[in-house]
């Protein structure tokens, strides 16, 4: 029996060759559809722990409005401004790692492009081609 899978995708860096960043990374998190409910419960427990149970945090942000976005977490923006507290940040990451990221039923896929290398081996390559090729490669791994 074939199990349905769900793929969550995020980009890091810019695929544009003229951008100063050296790398472009396309990452995927693959979860089997019948595990999504368990994954959601774990994410909700973390959200409630940090935003639902602390009155000072929950005044501005409702538990249902919290979305784990890598950029917001990294920059401590929006609801993740609470992570400017280094002790709280350490606890948060420990919970995220132990309850979400280290689950054996999650598969991680990555496509890494070294744009410096790409420029030297494929002069004249178009930015859109880079993005298209990276998404195709990630989808090949997904299927």
pTM over 0.75: no
- Name residues whose C-beta falls within 8 Å of residue 137's C-beta, 6 or more positions apart in sequence: 26, 111
pLDDT band per the 50, 70, 90 thresholds, residue 55: low
Per-residue confidence band for 11, with pLDDT thresholds at 50, 70 and 90: confident
At 95 the pLDDT is 95
Rounded Cα gap, residues 101 and 42, in angstroms: 11
Run of H or E including 33? none
Percent of the chain past pLDDT 70, that is, above it, reads 90
Q: What is the pLDDT of residue 54?
A: 59
Residue 84: pLDDT band with limits 50, 70, 90: very high
């Amino acid at each position: 029996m074939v199990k349905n899978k769900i793929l969550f995708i995020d980009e890091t860096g810019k695929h544009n060759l003229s951008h100063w960043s050296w790398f472009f990374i396309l990452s995927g998190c693959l979860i089997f559809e019948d595990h999504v409910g368990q994954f959601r419960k774990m994410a909700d427990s973390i959200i409630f722990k940090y935003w639902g149970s602390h009155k000072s945090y929950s005044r501005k942000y409702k538990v249902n409005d919290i979305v784990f976005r890598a950029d917001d977490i990294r920059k401590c923006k929006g609801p993740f401004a609470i992570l400017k507290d280094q002790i709280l940040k350490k606890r948060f990451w420990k919970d995220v790692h132990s309850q979400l990221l280290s689950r054996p039923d999650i598969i991680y896929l990555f496509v890494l492009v070294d744009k410096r290398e790409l420029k030297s081996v494929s002069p004249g390559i178009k930015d859109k081609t880079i993005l298209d090729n990276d998404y195709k490669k990630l989808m090949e791994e997904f299927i």
